[in-house]
Amino acid sequence: MNIRQAVKMAWKSIIGKKGRSMLTMLGVIIGIAAVMTIVSVMSGYAAKTMEQFSAMGSNKITVDIYSYFYEVDENGNAVSSGRDYFPDLYAYCKSIPQYIVGVTPQAYASVNVVYGTKNSANFEWDWETQTGQRSPDVYYVSNQYSACNNLTITKGRDLSELDIERYNQVCVMGSQAAEAFFDSADPVGKILQLNGQSFEVVGVYAPRITGSDAQSSFIDNIIVLPYTARRLLGGENISSFIVKAKDGVSTTEVATRIRGFLKGLVDPSMGDTWVQPDDRWQQSMNEQMGMISLVLGGIAAISLLVGGIGIMNIMLVTVTERTREIGIRRAIGAQRSSIVTQFLIEAAMLCGIGGVIGILIGTLGCYVAGNLLFHMTIYPSAAVTAGALGFSVLLGLIFGSYPAIKASKLQPVEALRAE
């Protein structure tokens, strides 16, 4: 018997008992669909996370300088009593322009923002329903903030070095913050009240996140001020900075150089430093996503194991039902190898058909999950699809081997006596 005949016989056996065949394939279908959906959705989540990292800028290095000593200001707030290290860090970064694009402070400013009847103190955001308006994040920065964070101006202008030097009371708004205070009107030239001090809006940044994800990301819900505005609005010495390297190769070099520079600048008895390339967070996220995918994929693969056991069970039943047929074939000279081939092909076809159905259901699951969870269309990659199909066929061969070998070992005389 050749392969073609074996395939035809296997197909007739499967079609002849459709209900039993479908129930047998159910474990494989569920397992393949679950594994494909989990792997594809986790890949989509990782891609979405990387998109967020990309929007915030690449080749960035976060620098924090901590002081061990604090004092209480006139308002009763604890503020750092350490020195302001930004002039030193800025001067050092300017001395290595071959590696660095820009450097900026990024210090949070605790201020109340008012324009007309809109007051950030009254903004409320409901995390459960994803509705409302969140108060914007206000930062003290330098004129290199946009270069460090991949920001572009869509209206007006950016902060300039003169704004820093002249202590100009100006600000630039993120697109989300601008919409919250001015709706569709042009904010440029308007005056915001920050803790009672007047600041002119000179520019608006282009949105980094668009579409339905923008509302809940808050990455564009910012207002930035020249760091010299601290003399009006108050705040402790700036301790957090962003350094933007020219490329990925330069990032490691810059981080090493800054660590060495700060080691000689900051007295260990007075404070400490922390220099961390942001790509470490991306690498850590990728590793976590990989581990989660393996765990969830392993759980889903249990159903494949159950499906394989079901295949073995039904093939043993098939061997029992076709004992006389096997005996006749053996009596007229059929080789053991042909008996093994026939039953292996039938088991592989059962699993293969289940795998195809599982792939179709898994693809639909990826599409639905991607749109519901990430507002993006996710389809399984060609490698995942091919791997799923190949694994389902392999599953049939593995779990069908025992029944096939058992069938081939039947003695013709004993087989012919079977009822």
Residue 314 near residue 367 (C-beta atoms within 8 A): no
267 with 341, same domain?
no
248 with 117, same domain?
yes
34 with 85, same domain?
no
Between CA 366 and CA 378 the distance in angstroms is: 6
125 with 241, same domain?
yes
Determine which helix (DSSP H) or strand (DSSP E) holds 43, and give its type and residue range: helix 18-56
Domains in the chain: how many in total? 2
Share of the chain above pLDDT 90, in %: 28
252 with 369, same domain?
no
| Residue finishing a domain among 277, 306, 341 | 277
146 with 43, same domain?
no
Q: With cut-offs at 50, 70 and 90, classify the pLDDT of residue 138.
A: very high
Q: Does 209 fall in a domain?
A: yes
348 with 387, same domain?
yes
- Joined together, the tokens standing for residue 309 give 């056991």
- Whole-angstrom distance between the N-terminal and C-terminal Cα of the chain? 25
Q: Does 55 fall in a domain?
A: no
Burial class of 19 by CB neighbour count within 10 A (0 to 12, 13 to 18, 19+): exposed
- Residue 161 in 3-state DSSP? helix
* Chain segment 111-124, per-residue pLDDT in tens: 999 999 999 989 88
Query: Which residue's entry shows tokens 């039993």?
Result: 20
Mean pLDDT of 81-109: 84
374 with 305, same domain?
yes
Chain-wide mean pLDDT for the chain?
83
Res. 54: pLDDT tops 60: no
- Joined together, the tokens standing for residue 313 give 């069970």
Residue 382 lies in domain:
3-50+284-417
| Backbone angles phi and psi of 201, in degrees to 5 | -80, 115
| Residue finishing a domain among 224, 248, 277 | 277
Cβ-Cβ contacts under 8 Å for 263 (sequence gap 6 or more): 273
| Residue finishing a domain among 246, 277, 308 | 277
Between CA 192 and CA 229 the distance in angstroms is: 14
* Chain segment 364-417, per-residue pLDDT in tens: 988 888 888 777 788 888 888 888 888 889 989 999 999 989 888 877 766 666
Angle between helical axes of 248-265 and 86-94 (0-180°, round to 10) = 130
